[in-house]
Amino acid sequence: MDAAQTLCAERGLRLTPVRQKVLELLLKSHAPLGAYAILSELADSGFNAQPPVAYRALDFLVENGFAHRIEKINAFVACNRPGEGHAPVFMICNDCGQVAEASTKTQSSSLDRTARAIGFDVQHMVVEAQGVCAGCRERASM
């Protein structure tokens, strides 16, 4: 949260109470949150719980690098590296639904080289891998 507040101040952005609350929800969650789960939490906290309120807050957080949208499951997670330009890779556990974020610097540069070789300019990239996390794999072997 401190990083988001600092970056907003540096960039002249406004971290409204709703945006801050949505970011807090994402930061404290150990699993990705869908928009309707966020709406429910906002309502429980006394905020206006209309869908546009949540979607505008999520759009702001994603556009400014404070959160990511995981397209495969249509859910959101807090960015673990706000303020750094990076192309994250999401590893999604098919069993428990947990999502881990990792950096793709080497993979991204390899993809960028391949794209440039064919004259393609990568403007947005989302890499999402599905599988089974270590915890679920361990539980399954017991």
CATH of domain 2-78: 1.10.10.10
Domain boundaries, the chain: 2-78, 88-141
Strand residue runs (E) in the chain:
67-70, 75-78, 88-93, 99-103, 127-131
- Please give the CATH architecture assigned to the domain spanning 88-141: 2-Layer Sandwich (3.30)
Using the 8-state DSSP alphabet, how is residue 119 labeled? T
Which residues lie across from 100 on neighbouring strands? 91
* N-term to C-term CA, the chain: 38
Q: How many CB atoms lie within 10 A of CB 13?
A: 16
Residues 13 and 5 sit within 8 Å (Cβ to Cβ): no
pLDDT in tens, the chain (142 residues): 888 898 899 999 999 999 999 999 999 987 899 999 999 999 999 988 788 889 999 999 999 989 999 988 899 999 887 776 677 888 999 998 888 888 765 455 677 788 889 999 877 777 888 999 999 999 988 8
